[in-house]
Homo-oligomer: A and B are copies of this chain.
């Protein structure tokens, strides 16, 4: 299996990316194709021991900045690591592409260069989130912020396939993120989607309120890309702020500091369960190729785990499974 990795993507690229790739090569049976400025990539690789026959380098002159408008990647930077990497997927020997770079640019480059799965109109970014029951799959967390109802139906269909094939959930339930349980709740837009999902999605279980997301009420949680992005980022920010607040309070008492020391390893276990870097990336669904978007702040562990999650998508031939689901549902 050959996985293409954007060596230049992310806040800590290429260092964190290369370190994560080297770790992945030690653990998984995979060939990694690194796309980026070859001299920079080679300089980083030199720091490590790794199986040389499992790494290929492909040069790409340009780098898309994390805050550049996504359209730049299309109009100006045709030689960026993102565009070059995505385009490799047109050749069947390359199975998937991973980038921790500019999310908008990855979405735009993938959509334009790979096209969509027949029957899917817009791309969506999914996210595997930890819950008290295991995992749920939240979609969309930011690709399509002004969707039409049928886009969310298509997302629900793709999410069910992803949850079954990649997360291993049997007959996954599908819930609509809403502000109340009853079908009469929410905006006009959300009510329309409720109706559509009731009619067309097999295991639709109705509304999931936001306070039930992390309790694991439904396996797949459907929302528009604006709301999903807010959910993701509020969660990140809240965890950070609560962590900072706890540290601040604990530091006030030597006994509490000692207590915190004793409890540390178990808290680390808990933290591990809710840490994004444990799960790797967020799959870009709907495009006609396996594309994984990693967090811009990805550390080596996040990159390694993104590679593992992507391998699972390849092994389960997720694009074909989605094509089948979408075409049979029409």
Contacts and interface: CB of A to CB of B under 8 A. Distances in A.
Contacts of A234: 210-211, 213-214, 231, 234-235
Contacts of A131: 241
B214 A237 contact: yes
Contacts of A260: 259, 262-263
B211 A146 contact: no
Interface in A88-128: none
A179 B267 contact: no
Most buried by B among A229, A241, A255: A241
13 contacts: A145-B187, A179-B233, A210-B230, A211-B237, A213-B238, A214-B240, A214-B242, A226-B227, A231-B234, A234-B235, A246-B267, A258-B262, A259-B259
Contacts of A190: 226
Interface string A225-265: 11101111111111111101110111011011011111111
Contacts of A238: 213-214, 235, 238-239
Contact of A209 (B212, B226, B233, B264): B233
A237 B138 CA distance: 15
Contact of A259 (B184, B230, B253, B263): B263
A188 interface: yes
Interface in A113-156: 131-132, 142, 145-146
Copies of this chain in its oligomeric complex = 2
B256 A262 contact: yes
Most buried by B among A225, A242, A248: A242
A203 B252 CA distance: 35
A302 B242 CA distance: 21
A274 interface: yes
Given A263-B259, A270-B242, A210 B233 contact: yes
Given A146-B188, A187-B226, A250-B266, 7 more contacts: A132-B244, A179-B230, A212-B237, A239-B242, A249-B270, A252-B269, A253-B265
A186 B245 contact: no
Interface in A248-304: 248-250, 252-253, 255-256, 258-267, 269-270, 273-274
B241 A132 contact: yes
A215 interface: yes
A251 B98 CA distance: 38
Nearest to A145: B187
B273 A266 contact: no
A177 interface: yes
A266 B274 contact: no
Contacts of A258: 259, 262
Nearest to A177: B230
